[in-house]
Structure 1
Amino acid sequence: MWDLTEEQRDLKALAAQVAAEQYAPRAREWDAGREHLPDTERKRLADLGLLALTLPEEYGGGGRPLMDALIVLEELAKASPVAAWPVFEASTGPARVIEQFGTEEQRKRILPEVASGRTTIAVSISEPDAGSAATDATTTARIDGHEVVLNGTKRWCSGAGFSEKYLVYVNFGPEKGAGGMGAVLVDRDAPGLTFGPQENLMGFRGIGSADMFLTDVRIPVEDVIVLKGGFRKLFTAFSIERLGNATMSLAIGQTALDRTARYVQERRQFGRDIAEFQLVQAGLADMVVQVEAARLLIARAAANAGTGVPATLEASTAKLFANQMAKQVSDLAIQLHGGYGYSEEYEVERMHRDAHGWALAGGTPAMQRIRIASEYLGRRFSQREQAAR
C-alpha cells in the first residue's frame, strides 16, 4: 500500500469507524429500498470533517490534498456507495469546478454551503442524444439582461431530485459543439425545472437518477459558472472526478477481496478449507494483483495532483484500470463464493452490479481508451471525422 502519513492513517481510521458503525449495517436496506442518504448523515460527515476535505479552508473545507479525500471516500464506499456519495460530490465532483473556475463571489456564496453539508451539487451533462459526445448537448442558455434562460432535457443525472443544486452543462450558442459550451448552476426549486421518475437501475441504488426538464428556467447571470467556450476548463475538471470514480471502484474491489479471503478460509469442502485448493488460490491471487495495481495507479495520480488537478493521462489510466478491476474482481468473488455469491445476503452481487455503473459513469472505458491514446501520443482524434469516412 502507498505509504500514508500519521495524519492520513488517523483520517482513514475515523472514516472506517464511521462506515462500520453507521453505514455498513444499512447498505442492504439502502440498496433494496433505493433509499437516499438522509440529510442528517451528510451533516454528520461535515461535522466530522470528512465531507469537503479538498475545498479550501477559507470556504469551510479541509484544505487537504486530493489523496486525503480519496482515503475517506474508499473507506465509506467499502460500506456503501450511498454513504460515500456526498463526499464524492463535495471533494471530487461539481463543487471542485466552482472552486477551480468560479469567481470569488461564487466561491464565497456557494462553497461554505457545500462544506457544511447544507447543500449538495450534482452534475448534469448527458442528454437523450448527447452521452459520450457531451459537446452535442442541445440544452440552450440565452442571456436576457441580468438573467439566463434555460431550455432543454438532461438525462442520467445522478442525484436528480435529491440534490439542492445542479451544475448544468449548456450551449450558449450560436456556435455548436465545444465553442458554445459552458456551465450554469440551477437550484432544485427553480421555476420551470421538473424531474422525471426515478430510474430503476442495475446498480447505484439509493443514489438516484432521473431526467431533468428545463422549460424557460431563469437564473441570475451570477450563477453562470463557466462562460461559452469554456468546455476545456470543464473537461480538465473531469480528471478530479475520474479519480473519485476510480476510488469508488477500488472500494468495490478491496471489499470483494476482503470478504472472499475470509470466506475461502471458513468454507470447507471435501474435508478441508477451500483455500487449500489451487484453483481457489489462483483466483484469489488474481484479485490481489488487480486491486493492488489499481490502488497504485490511483495513488500516483493523486500524489502528483497534490491540491490541484490530476494529469489527464494518469487520471484516465487509473479510471480505466480500476473500473475493469472492479468488474473482474467482483465477478471472481461471486465465483469463489459459489451459490452464496449469487445471494443478496453476502452482498458481492450488489458490488458487481455497482461496478458496472462506475465503469459507465464519468466516461466509459471506450472513451477512456481514446483519451489515453490521445494524451500519450500528444494528438487529438475526432470521432466525427472517422465516422464520416
Structure 2
Amino acid sequence: MDFQLTEQQRDLQEAARRFAQGELTELAREMEEKDFPVPDEMVRRYGKQGFLGVNLPEKYGGLGLGHLEALLVLEQFAMISNAVAFPVFEALVGPVRTIALFGSGSLQQRIIPKVARGEATVAVSMSEPEAGTALTDLSTRARDEGDHYLLDGTKRWTSGAGHAQFYVVYCRLSDAPGAKGIGALLVAKDTAGVSFGKREPLMGFRGIETRDISFDGVRVPKDNLIVGAGGFGRLMAAFGLERCGNATQSLGLAAAALEQASAYVQEREAFGKPIVDFQAVQLRLAEMAMQVEAARLLIYRAAANAAHQENGLPSVYESSLAKCYANEIVRSVTANAMQVMGGYGYHREYGMEQRVRDGFAWGIAGGTTDVQKTNIAAAMIGRRFDQRG
C-alpha cells in the first residue's frame, strides 16, 4: 500500500494545476458573473493539452491512463470552479465513459475522438418529472422501428442541456417492467424533434446550463444504441466512476476553500497579530484539513481499487462512501472558510460564497447523500433494500 503519487501522476497533476490557475481563474469569475458555459475555443484548448482524454483509449485520441489520473486532473480544475471543470467531468468520468465502455466500435470512433480533441461535449439525461431517485420509474420510451428507434419523452435536470452536442439518454427500450426495460441511447442535439426548456435559475452552478429536454418522435439510428433493454445494472455499475467525479468536484471546492482561508488568516490581523494566532481559528483550520484529506483518501482509494475490479470500475461501496463524505464535508469546509474570512468570505468578489452555493449541489446531483448511505448499507449487509415496500 503506497500513498505516494508516481512521478508521472505528480507531473500530470502539476500540469493541470498550472493550466487551471494560469488560464481559467479570470474566465471562471466571468462565467460566474455572466452565467455562460466554457467557450468552445477554451474547450478545444483543454483537448489540445490532453485534459479531456486522460483515461480514454489511446486509439481514440486519449492518453490511456487510469481513473486516478483522471481525477487528479479534475480536482485541479474544480479548485478554480465547478463550471470550468464541467467539460473535464463529462469527458473523463461522466457519459463519455459510458460510450467508451458499452458503445459499439463505430459509435466510439464517431464520438470519443471529437471529445478528446475538445470538438464535442456529451451530457447525460436521466431524471424525469416523475423519476429522479426512483430512476426505474422513468417513462421516456424508444420504440424499435426496424432501422431506427423512435424516441418520445421529457427529461429534467440535465446539466449541459442546450449546450452539449450529444446526450446519453436513459429510456425504456422494451415493455419489460422496472429496470428490465431500461437502456440508453445517444442523441444528437440537432436531431429533429429535440427541444430544450428554459434555463433553470439555480442557487449555484452558474456557467453550467440546466434545462428540460423534450423528445418528440426523434429518430435515433440503431448504431446509437449504447446499452439495450435489461442493461440498467451495467449503466449503474458505470455510475461508480461518476460518483467519484462528483466527489472530486466537491473535493476541489473544499480544497480551494481551505487554501484561501489558510492564506487569509495569516494575512488578516486583529488585536495586533495575525488571526491564525488565535486558537479558535487554528481549530477550524485543523478540522477543515482533516475533512479535506479524508475525502481525498476515500476518492483516491475508490479510483485506485477500480483496477482490481472485474469491470475496471470503482465499487458501489467505495464510490458511495467517497461521494457521500465529500458531499457532506464540502458544505462544512466552505462554510467554515467563509466564517474565518468574516465579511470578506460573504462578499461576492472573493469567491467563497460561490463555493458555498456550488458545494450544496453535489449532495443532490448524481444521487443524494441519503441514497449513497442506502448504497453503503446494502453493500455492508450484502443485499439491496426494497424502498417501495
Settle same-fold status: TM greater than 0.5: yes
Q: Which residue matches 1:203?
A: 204
Q: Relative to 1, partners in 2 of residues 1:152 and 1:240: Cα closer, same or farther, differing over 3 Å?
A: same
* Residue identity matched to 2:116: A
Task: For residue 175 of structure 1, report the CA deviation from its aligned partner.
Answer: 2.0
Quote the Cα distance in structure 1 between the aligned partners of 2:118 and 2:27.
20
* Residue identity matched to 1:20: Q
Q: Secondary structure at the match of 2:24?
A: helix
* Residue identity matched to 1:275: V
Task: For residue 26 of structure 1, report the CA deviation from its aligned partner.
Answer: 2.1
Q: Which segment drifts farther, 271-280 or 241-250? A: 271-280
Task: For residue 346 of structure 1, report the CA deviation from its aligned partner.
Answer: 1.4
Quote the Cα distance in structure 2 between the aligned partners of 1:195 and 1:298.
34
1:233-286 C-alpha deviation (Å, 9 max, x unpaired): 000011010101111111011000000001111111112111111111111110
Quote the Cα distance in structure 1 between the aligned partners of 2:305 and 2:176.
36
1:331-372 C-alpha deviation (Å, 9 max, x unpaired): 101111111111111111100111111111111001000001
1:168 lines up with 2:169 in the alignment: yes
Task: For residue 140 of structure 1, report the CA deviation from its aligned partner.
Answer: 0.7
Q: Which residue matches 1:377?
A: 381
Q: Which residue matches 1:309?
A: 313
Quote the Cα distance in structure 2 between the aligned partners of 1:9 and 1:251.
17
Quote the Cα distance in structure 2 between the aligned partners of 1:14 and 1:222.
37
Q: Secondary structure at the match of 1:149?
A: strand
**In the TM superposition, what are the counterparts of 1:4-83 in structure 2 within 5 Å?**
4-83=5-84
Question: Over aligned residues, Cα RMSD in angstroms?
Answer: 1.2
Q: Which residue matches 2:194?
A: 193
Q: Which segment drifts farther, 283-292 or 300-309? A: 300-309
1:325 lines up with 2:329 in the alignment: yes
Q: Secondary structure at the match of 2:98?
A: helix
Quote the Cα distance in structure 1 between the aligned partners of 2:144 and 2:137.
20
Residues 239 and 316, structure 1, Cα contact 8 Å, conserved in 2: yes
Size of the aligned set, in residue pairs, is: 385
* Residue identity matched to 1:185: L
Q: Secondary structure at the match of 1:141?
A: strand
1:292-343 C-alpha deviation (Å, 9 max, x unpaired): 0001101111111139211110000000001111111001011111111111
Task: For residue 18 of structure 1, report the CA deviation from its aligned partner.
Answer: 0.9
Residues 179 and 231, structure 1, Cα contact 8 Å, conserved in 2: yes
Quote the Cα distance in structure 1 between the aligned partners of 2:344 and 2:116.
41
Quote the Cα distance in structure 2 between the aligned partners of 1:2 and 1:335.
32
Quote the Cα distance in structure 1 between the aligned partners of 2:202 and 2:32.
11
Quote the Cα distance in structure 2 between the aligned partners of 1:253 and 1:122.
25
Task: For residue 87 of structure 1, report the CA deviation from its aligned partner.
Answer: 1.0
Q: Which segment drifts farther, 335-344 or 25-34? A: 25-34
Quote the Cα distance in structure 2 between the aligned partners of 1:296 and 1:85.
22
Quote the Cα distance in structure 2 between the aligned partners of 1:306 and 1:117.
27
Residues 55 and 63, structure 1, Cα contact 8 Å, conserved in 2: yes
Residues 194 and 214, structure 1, Cα contact 8 Å, conserved in 2: yes
Residues 50 and 63, structure 2, Cα contact 8 Å, conserved in 1: yes
Q: Secondary structure at the match of 1:153?
A: strand
Task: For residue 56 of structure 1, report the CA deviation from its aligned partner.
Answer: 0.8
Quote the Cα distance in structure 2 between the aligned partners of 1:325 and 1:363.
16
Quote the Cα distance in structure 1 between the aligned partners of 2:163 and 2:307.
31
Residues 136 and 176, structure 1, Cα contact 8 Å, conserved in 2: no
Unaligned regions of 5+ residues in structure 2, if any? none
* Residue identity matched to 1:224: L
Q: Which residue matches 1:180?
A: 181
Quote the Cα distance in structure 1 between the aligned partners of 2:161 and 2:320.
26
Residues 290 and 329, structure 1, Cα contact 8 Å, conserved in 2: yes
1:363 lines up with 2:367 in the alignment: yes
* Residue identity matched to 1:242: R
* Residue identity matched to 1:193: V
Q: Which residue matches 1:293?
A: 294
Quote the Cα distance in structure 2 between the aligned partners of 1:152 and 1:13.
44
Quote the Cα distance in structure 2 between the aligned partners of 1:161 and 1:188.
8
Q: Which residue matches 2:267?
A: 266
Task: For residue 118 of structure 1, report the CA deviation from its aligned partner.
Answer: 1.2
* Residue identity matched to 2:332: Q
Q: Which residue matches 2:110?
A: 109
Quote the Cα distance in structure 2 between the aligned partners of 1:106 and 1:131.
28
* Residue identity matched to 1:249: S
Q: Which residue matches 1:90?
A: 91
Residues 67 and 306, structure 1, Cα contact 8 Å, conserved in 2: no
Task: For residue 79 of structure 1, report the CA deviation from its aligned partner.
Answer: 1.1
1:144-188 C-alpha deviation (Å, 9 max, x unpaired): 110101111000000000000000000123123101100000000
**4+ residue segments displaced more than 6 Å:** none
* Residue identity matched to 2:238: A
Q: Relative to 1, partners in 2 of residues 1:2 and 1:205: Cα closer, same or farther, differing over 3 Å?
A: farther
Task: For residue 35 of structure 1, report the CA deviation from its aligned partner.
Answer: 1.0
Quote the Cα distance in structure 1 between the aligned partners of 2:292 and 2:307.
23
Task: For residue 83 of structure 1, report the CA deviation from its aligned partner.
Answer: 1.7
1:214-242 C-alpha deviation (Å, 9 max, x unpaired): 11111111111110010000000110101
Quote the Cα distance in structure 1 between the aligned partners of 2:167 and 2:317.
27
Residues 254 and 334, structure 2, Cα contact 8 Å, conserved in 1: yes
Q: Which residue matches 2:354?
A: 350
Task: For residue 21 of structure 1, report the CA deviation from its aligned partner.
Answer: 1.4
Task: For residue 109 of structure 1, report the CA deviation from its aligned partner.
Answer: 2.2
Q: Which segment drifts farther, 234-243 or 81-90? A: 81-90
1:157 lines up with 2:158 in the alignment: yes
